Structure 1
Amino acid sequence: MDTSQWISVQRDDGETVGYLEPLTVDYDIVQPRSILGHAVSGPCDYSEGEELIQDRGIGELMLPWILDGHAAGRAQELSIIELSAQGIVLGNALHAKALAPTDPIVLPWPDVDGRLKPAERPT
């Protein structure tokens, strides 16, 4: 996916928290996207999209994830170890939490196909 037209949305400290993908030539309508490239709402105007992204933040980077929609309980929970334009690097969540070695899984960034989903935790 060509992300060259995406506009990064940043916090006051300069940290990128997400992106706005222009859907119109004049950037009047945008698709807000998380730091992972996931759509976070439907298309909206620029200022609304920017506010949505800033309010969302980057907390999702700390969540456990599952890959390719495996059913809860059967999937290995993954943690995001590294995120850059070169890819999303994931590893076994328990190993990452314990700072133990883990075999990396690398996905292309952005994950616009939604291969990563938050792991559902039992309530």
Structure 2
Amino acid sequence: MRTQDFDCLVGYFFISGFFRLYPALESVKKVRILIGLKNEQVVDGLIQIANNESEERAPSTAEVKTTFSSMLQSELVQARDTLAIEMGIRKFIEWIRSGKLEVKLYREQNIHAKVYIMTPEHPVESVNHC
């Protein structure tokens, strides 16, 4: 059974690890991520870059490090400059621009729960209907 939509609530979301996720989500129509902890400055900055229509290409890992150097505590500064991480950052920005990926930061209070919801392409009808 193929997944049409993927929704998740996570406490932390590290953009440097997105390259490990996106291949499994390529065939998914819509990906929505709600991040529940307040220290997601890198993700917030990349969302702003993705929403900047004047910037046609996604930045390289080195450019992202330079742009966010004041707010990057450890995530990208300690990440290796690999093509895989850069491709993950580019895919993140591409998917936000296309509408495939929606990321929201919940800032009211910290949420450290983990919830993953996968909606099938063709839902199976419930057998509990009377």
TM-score (norm 2): 0.29
Could you say which structure has the higher helix fraction?
A: 2
Counting strand residues as a fraction of each chain, which structure ranks higher?
Answer: 1
Greater RCO (Cα-Cα under 8 Å, separation 6 or more): 2
Report the TM-score when normalising by structure 1.
0.30
The structure with more radius of gyration: 2
